[in-house]
């Protein structure tokens, strides 16, 4: 419950409030339970103030103006600060455990060593904010502007970070640990930190990656009716052999996004089967991907057709591009798939692993 006297002084305005704080530096303001929704608290001295558990069923600081307010070491656990104006506010070492900061404006705010564990920060403005050494354990951080923010040494264990604007942000030594006694992983990218956390702390995720690296086979080719029948037959045969086949359609426009998606899938694969029959964009895509791939590429070609000239050069330069296997029809291809396609690709994969 809020101290009635403290609340009464606050309602007199910031001049009276800040004078009272100056005259009584030893007093910790008790404002828990106060409804300060839409309150004008600009420049307010709320250092060490207790605002936690303040009407948990209501939004006590929603839309409040806290611009340039001093909230250093304040207790704001569980408080609602949606749409609040906290521009250039001092929240260093403040407690915001489980706080709601939806659409809050924290541009230029000082949040160093602040405790933002499990806070919900959605579409908030944190441009130029100083979050150095802050704790963001289990924090939900979505669609927020963090341009030029300082995130140095933040603890981001269990963070959920999605669609963030991190242009110019300082992301150095982001810490991933639940307890300092458990050991620590440090990375320099917030989104990578989230990914590393999932791998390091989720056995199922690790098992998925292990399965992908050992069993995924990328199948490249055209999705015209005739060629798609061949690709589907290859996929079905690979399934029978306990692989995880992934078909990639090269009839779609060769945009940068599609090329990058193909490259990502290629790097995750055990090996690649590329049907060069009736080529269209696949020569260009392979030429872009093969040089930095180091993943076995097993080409296929319908008898009577010729390889495109650039592919011959790729095979000469990169030893993971294997000899082209020619087939007469689907039956011939499936009969020879084990010995002429899978076996050479597996042998090359093992060779690359040793290297």
Q: Read off the pLDDT of each residue in 44-48 and give the average, rounded to a whole number.
A: 96
- Between the alpha carbon of residue 85 and those of residues 41, 88, 101, 142, 216, the distances in Å are 10, 9, 10, 18, 50
Q: Is 355 helix (H, G, I), strand (E, B) or coil?
A: coil
- Residue identified by tokens 């291809």 is 333
Q: Is 64 helix (H, G, I), strand (E, B) or coil?
A: coil
| pLDDT for position 10 | 94
Q: Which domains does the chain have, with CATH numbers?
A: 1-201 (2.160.20), 207-354 (3.40.50.450)
pLDDT at 6 over 70: yes
Across all residues in the chain, what is the average pLDDT?
87
pLDDT at 339 over 70: yes
Of 310, 261, 316, 255, residue with least CA distance to 286: 310
Percent of the chain exceeding pLDDT 70 equals 88
pLDDT band at 284 (very low <50, low <70, confident <90, very high): low
| pLDDT for position 252 | 52
- Order of all β-strands in the sheet with 244-249: 244-249, 216-221, 271-275, 297-302, 325-327
CA–CA gap between residue 130 and residue 14 (Å, rounded)? 25
Q: Find the range with the poorest average confidence among 63-67, 128-132, 225-229, 240-244.
A: 225-229
> Who wins on pLDDT, 186 or 181?
186
Task: Determine the longest span between alpha carbons in the chain, in angstroms.
Answer: 95
> Who wins on pLDDT, 286 or 220?
220
| pLDDT for position 124 | 98
pLDDT band at 279 (very low <50, low <70, confident <90, very high): low
| pLDDT for position 59 | 40
pLDDT band at 294 (very low <50, low <70, confident <90, very high): confident
Q: Find the range with the poorest average confidence among 225-229, 237-241, 330-334.
A: 225-229
What pTM was estimated for this model as a whole?
0.64
| pLDDT for position 280 | 59
């Amino acid at each position: 419950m809020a101290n009635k006297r403290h609340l009464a002084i606050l309602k007199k305005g910031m001049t009276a409030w800040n004078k009272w704080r100056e005259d009584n530096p030893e007093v910790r303001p008790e404002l828990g339970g106060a409804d300060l929704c839409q309150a004008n608290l600009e420049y307010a001295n709320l250092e060490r103030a207790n605002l936690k558990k303040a009407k948990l069923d209501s939004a006590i600081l929603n839309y409040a103006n806290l611009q340039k307010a001093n909230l250093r070491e304040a207790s704001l656990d569980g408080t609602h600060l949606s749409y609040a104006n906290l521009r250039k506010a001092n929240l260093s070492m403040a407690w915001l455990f489980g706080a709601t900061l939806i659409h809050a404006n924290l541009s230029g705010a000082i949040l160093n060593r602040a405790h933002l564990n499990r806070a919900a920060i959605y579409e908030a403005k944190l441009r130029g904010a100083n979050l150095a050494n802050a704790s963001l354990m289990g924090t939900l951080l979505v669609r927020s502007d963090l341009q030029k923010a300082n995130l140095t040494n933040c603890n981001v264990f269990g963070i959920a970070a999605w669609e963030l604007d991190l242009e110019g942000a300082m992301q150095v030594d982001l810490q991933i640990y639940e307890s300092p006694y458990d050991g620590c992983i440090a990375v320099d990218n917030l989104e990578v930190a989230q990914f590393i956390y999932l791998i390091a702390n989720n056995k199922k995720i690790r098992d998925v990656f292990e399965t992908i690296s050992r069993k995924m086979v990328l199948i490249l080719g055209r999705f015209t009716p005739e060629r798609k029948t061949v690709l589907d037959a290859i996929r079905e045969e690979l399934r029978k052999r306990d692989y995880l086949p992934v078909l990639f359609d090269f009839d779609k426009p060769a945009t940068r996004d599609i090329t990058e998606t193909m490259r990502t899938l290629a790097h995750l694969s055990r090996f690649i089967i590329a049907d060069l029959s009736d080529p269209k964009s696949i020569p260009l895509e392979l030429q872009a991907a093969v040089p930095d791939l180091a993943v076995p590429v097993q080409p296929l070609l319908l008898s009577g057709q010729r390889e495109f000239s650039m592919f011959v050069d790729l095979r000469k330069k990169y030893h993971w591009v294997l000899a082209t296997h020619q087939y007469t029809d689907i039956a011939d291809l499936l009969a020879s798939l084990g010995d002429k396609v899978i076996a050479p690709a597996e042998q090359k994969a093992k060779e690359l692993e040793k290297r």
